[in-house]
Amino acid sequence: MHIAIQEFPRIWISNASPSNWKQELEALLDQGKRFVLLTRELPGQDGADNDKEEFSQWLKDHRSRLSIYCAASLVVVSNSLIAFSLNAFVAPLSEKFGFPVRVVHEDDLDAQITAFLAASPEVANS
């Protein structure tokens, strides 16, 4: 998985190479500033299978810090009906990860990012 930080606080995640997710996420947490994780790739799509298990474990290990600095993780889609339908499936991930996980229509992206960054972080009980 590849993380692009050029549009901070918009942090884009993709299955592209090179794999840099671990170093970049740790650097983001060390900055102490809130950010939003974004992707256009739906969970379960083909791609970096070798990273998935390590990524999942890393999320568990860093849950308490992520709940403070990661304002949300948003999957961006081009169809509002798909966004509405998929939210029921991704909502349980919010509790698991310690930050909101949502599917959003691309037309609503700016408003959603602004709202999540403005919201107070909830410190999760680990």
Q: What is the pTM of this model?
A: 0.87
Q: Is the pLDDT of residue 30 over 90?
A: yes
pLDDT for 36-63, tens place per residue?
999 998 655 555 556 778 888 898 899 9
Question: Do the beta carbons of residue 2 and residue 38 sit within 8 Å?
Answer: no
Q: What's the pLDDT score for residue 125?
A: 40
CATH 2.60.40 is right for the domain spanning 2-118:
no
Q: What's the pLDDT score for residue 51?
A: 75
Residue 36 neighbours by CB distance under 10 Å: 23
* Beta strands 10-14; 35-39: pairing state: parallel
Q: What's the pLDDT score for residue 110?
A: 96
Of 67, 80, 75, residue with least CA distance to 35: 67
pLDDT for 64-119, tens place per residue?
999 999 999 999 999 999 999 999 888 888 888 889 999 999 999 999 999 999 99
Q: What's the pLDDT score for residue 35?
A: 97
